[in-house]
Structure 1
């Protein structure tokens, strides 16, 4: 049975690490739904958050292969992550700004920027809620929409 999984990988922040990780997935035909990488503050490490899907056997293979990569220090895979995503949406200024603001607040967001042509809103929430927001905001004729990848942290 296919299931969406989140994996958090701590790696040494050096050239080529991301290439090796993405190559591991590509070489075995595994899909990456979301990939986010950022340095861990006050260290020489980075955190790679990968959202992938597959059955239990595929997921087990992914974890084993990640452990074998040299710059990988730690691989965490469990079902108890706090996960967040962000979306930015550019909307023509002629749209109903009050309704847009109400919708944004419902998804932990607000108006981040405005000029004579557009407003840009930002929302940060759980990945499935970002998907819902992006569907709902379409009624305001967005010019552009973009979403980040998932970031995750173990709850315990």
Structure 2
């Protein structure tokens, strides 16, 4: 049975670390659905947040292989993480702004920018809720949709 999983990897912030991690996935035929990298408070470290999916055996193998990489300090893999993602959507201005605003607010979103041609909305929420927001906005014929990738933190 295929499961979706978020894996947090704390690494030394040095060149080629991301290439080694993505190479590990590619070399074994594992897919990365989302990848986010940012430095931690200590400038020598970064956190890589990877969203992937596979059966339990595949996920266990991924975690074991990540532990073996030299620049990796820790790997956190837990089913109960708080996940957030940011979404930007560009919609033609000829749509009803009040309707769009109401939908956005239901998903922790707001109108971030407007000009004579488009409005751009921004929303930050759980990935599944952003999927629902995108479905809700389809009737407004979005010109462009951009997602940031997942960030996550352990709940405990």
TM-score when scaled to structure 1?
A: 0.98
Q: How does 1:136-147 map to 2 (within 5 A)?
A: 136-147=136-147
In structure 2, C-alpha distance between the alignment counterparts of 1:127 and 1:8, rounded to whole Å:
16
In structure 1, C-alpha distance between the alignment counterparts of 2:122 and 2:108, rounded to whole Å:
8
1:106 aligned partner: 106
Residues 56-113 of structure 1, C-alpha deviations (whole Å, 9 max, x = no match): 1111110010000011001000112100011100011110100000000000010011
In structure 2, C-alpha distance between the alignment counterparts of 1:6 and 1:25, rounded to whole Å:
14
CA RMSD across the alignment: 0.8
- Show structure 1 runs of 4+ deviating over 4 A: none
1:149 aligned partner: 149
Q: Any stretches of 5+ residues in structure 2 without a counterpart? A: none
1:88 aligned partner: 88
Residues 22-47 of structure 1, C-alpha deviations (whole Å, 9 max, x = no match): 00000000011111111113431111
Q: How does 1:26-45 map to 2 (within 5 A)?
A: 26-45=26-45
* DSSP 3-state at the match of 1:41: coil
Please say which of residues 33-42 and 121-130 is displaced more in the overlay: 33-42
The answer to whether residue 100 in structure 2 is matched with residue 97 in structure 1 is no
1:49 aligned partner: 49
1:67 aligned partner: 67
* DSSP 3-state at the match of 2:64: helix
* DSSP 3-state at the match of 2:113: strand
Aligned pair count reads 156
The answer to whether residue 97 in structure 2 is matched with residue 116 in structure 1 is no
1:133 aligned partner: 133
1:22 aligned partner: 22
2:6 aligned partner: 6
